[in-house]
């Protein structure tokens, strides 16, 4: 089989670059995007290269950043705008292949294996991509190239972001020379805790991990240990999964209540049940979503009450509590205290859950383990086998719905 050619295309200082493209007068000035410009305790979400030259770092306190760079222009983030530009960039990338997978708001994976005959060598395509993105959005893109997603990501993080061309390729031939010399905490998917563990076991570089006895790692961590070792050796089979970003795909679940619910604590109980059901279906379909929606309706069809609201998150998720917290925020913001009879929750803007495998070792995994454990108990022993404690209250519908399988609640 022909070697794959995968790109990871990343935008330099994305939020700030979008702001600078929109405000040409800011061109050579230090610019910081920060959650709450009025509060010095806010966090720097993005800083431009001019601000970074003054020592401003992403994720530092705004007050601290302003001490280092007193004349920085501080801008409040405009997430909707950044999402729009992100989609615009997806559209550019789709001219090169139909296999485009948005990975985060400013990073997208491409499988350009089939595009080479038509569009040239990987390096030429990468340069073209940079030029078109620059021309159409004024944003500088960096491209990591590899035979799989992991090496493409490492090529970008470790090298393309640091060299003059903004392009770098990692492959089986140069992996040892370049990637293996990087410190272990620079390995994608290895969080702070994991890298401490590995250091204690004597592994300081990615190469140390790659040449560590596999059997020891497997004994210690099981399959995740093996995956870790394989990725350090440049092995990663996860495919680029094209995602029609504006897709209609959505997972929703609605519940008609046995009576009017008018207390917030009761409604919270059923909202959690709904989010659990939606997320469970997302997990079993191996998808995650970025947009959370809720609808509520009153009992009286003659005088309709209620609302539908949605919000788009920065990261995709299928975690029950993530979705519940978001849905609850929407509810608390928009509910006018009119009693409700029907309520629904939805997750849309879906993409494959596989890309998360790269993040196997950050703390997402604990949350995910809990979700999947709950799912497998329900799959084996029935929906009522495990429920949130809140479902045991009078407001809870989980038991009743479990008893009416095939009934009209499902
Ligand atoms: Mg970036």
Report the distance separating Cα 81 and Cα 96, nearest Å. 24
Q: Please tell me the pTM assigned to this model.
A: 0.63
Active site residue 94: no
407 has pLDDT over 50? no
140 CA → ligand 1 middle, Å? 10
Q: How confident is the model at residue 184 (pLDDT cuts 50, 70, 90)?
A: very high
Q: Which residue intervals of the chain bear CATH 3.30.1490.100?
A: 250-403
For residue range 243-298, list pLDDT tens digits in order. 654 444 688 888 888 888 999 999 999 999 999 999 988 888 778 898 999 989 88
Does 266 carry a binding-site annotation? no
Tell me, which fold does domain 177-232 have in CATH? Answer: DNA polymerase; domain 1 (1.10.150)
Q: Distance, CA 16 to ligand 1 centroid (Å)?
A: 10
- Choose, from 107, 169, 273, 276, the residue flagged as catalytic: 107
Please tell me the predicted confidence (pLDDT) of residue 354. 66
Q: Which residues pair with 297 in a beta bridge?
A: 306, 342
* Range from 248-257, 299-308, 340-349, 357-366 that averages highest in pLDDT: 340-349
Q: Which CATH code is given to the segment(s) 14-79? A: 3.40.1170.60
Q: Which of the following CATH numbers is that of domain 250-403: 3.40.50.920, 3.30.1490.100, 3.40.50.2300, 3.30.1490.20?
A: 3.30.1490.100
| pLDDT single digits (tens) 110-130 | 999 999 888 889 999 999 999
Average pLDDT over residues 219-233: 88
Distance from residue 107's CA to the centre of ligand 1 (Å): 7
Which residues in the chain are classed under CATH 3.40.1170.60? 14-79
How many angstroms is it from 143 CA to the middle of ligand 1?
11
Q: What are the E-state strand segments in 124-174? A: 141-146, 167-169
Q: Ligand 1 mean position to 284 CA, how many Å?
A: 31
Confidence of residue 80 (pLDDT cuts 50, 70, 90): confident
**pLDDT at 226 (0 to 100):** 87
Give per-residue burial for 257-277: e unless 16+ CB within 10 Å, then b: beeebeeeebbbbbbbbbbbb
The span from the CA of 312 to the CA of 291, in Å, is: 4
pLDDT-derived band at 2 (thresholds 50, 70, 90) equals: low
> Is residue 106 a known part of a binding site?
yes
């Amino acid at each position: 089989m022909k070697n794959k050619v995968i790109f990871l295309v990343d935008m330099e200082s994305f939020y700030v670059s979008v702001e600078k493209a929109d405000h040409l007068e800011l061109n050579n000035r230090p610019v910081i995007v920060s959650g709450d410009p009025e509060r010095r305790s806010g966090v720097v979400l993005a800083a431009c290269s001019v601000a970074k030259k003054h020592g401003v770092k992403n994720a530092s306190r705004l007050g601290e950043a302003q001490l280092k760079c007193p004349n920085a222009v501080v801008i409040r983030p405009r997430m909707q705008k950044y999402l729009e530009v992100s989609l615009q960039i997806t559209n550019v990338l789709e001219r090169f292949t139909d296999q485009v997978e948005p990975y985060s708001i400013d990073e997208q994976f491409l499988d350009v294996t089939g595009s080479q005959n038509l569009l040239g060598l990987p390096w030429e395509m990468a340069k073209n991509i940079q030029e078109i993105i620059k021309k159409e959005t004024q944003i500088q893109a960096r491209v990591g190239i590899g035979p799989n997603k992991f090496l493409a990501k490492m090529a970008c993080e470790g090298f393309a972001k640091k060299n003059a061309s903004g392009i770098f390729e990692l492959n089986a031939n140069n992996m040892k020379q370049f990637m293996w010399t990087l410190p272990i905490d620079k390995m994608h998917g290895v969080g702070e805790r994991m890298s401490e563990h590995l250091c204690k076991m004597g592994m300081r570089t990615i190469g140390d991990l790659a040449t560590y006895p596999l059997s020891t790692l497997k004994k210690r961590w099981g399959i995740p240990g093996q995956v870790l070792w394989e990725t350090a050796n440049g092995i990663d089979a996860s495919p680029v999964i094209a995602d029609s970003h504006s897709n209609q795909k959505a997972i929703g679940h609605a519940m008609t209540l046995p009576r009017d619910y008018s207390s917030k604590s009761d409604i919270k109980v059923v909202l959690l049940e709904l989010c659990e059901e939606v997320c469970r279906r997302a997990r079993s379909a191996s998808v995650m979503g970025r947009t959370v929606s809720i609808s509520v309706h009153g009992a009286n069809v003659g005088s309709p009450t209620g609302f539908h609201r949605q919000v788009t998150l920065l990261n995709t998720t299928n975690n029950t509590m993530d979705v519940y917290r978001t849905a609850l925020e929407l509810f608390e913001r928009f509910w006018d205290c009119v009693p409700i009879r029907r309520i629904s929750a939805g997750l849309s803007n879906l993409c494959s859950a596989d890309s998360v495998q790269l993040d196997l070792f950050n703390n997402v995994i604990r949350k995910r383990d809990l979700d999947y454990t709950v799912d497998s108990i329900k799959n084996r022993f029935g929906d009522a086998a495990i429920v949130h404690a809140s479902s045991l209250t009078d407001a809870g519908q989980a038991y009743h719905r479990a008893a009416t399988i095939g009934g009209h609640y499902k």
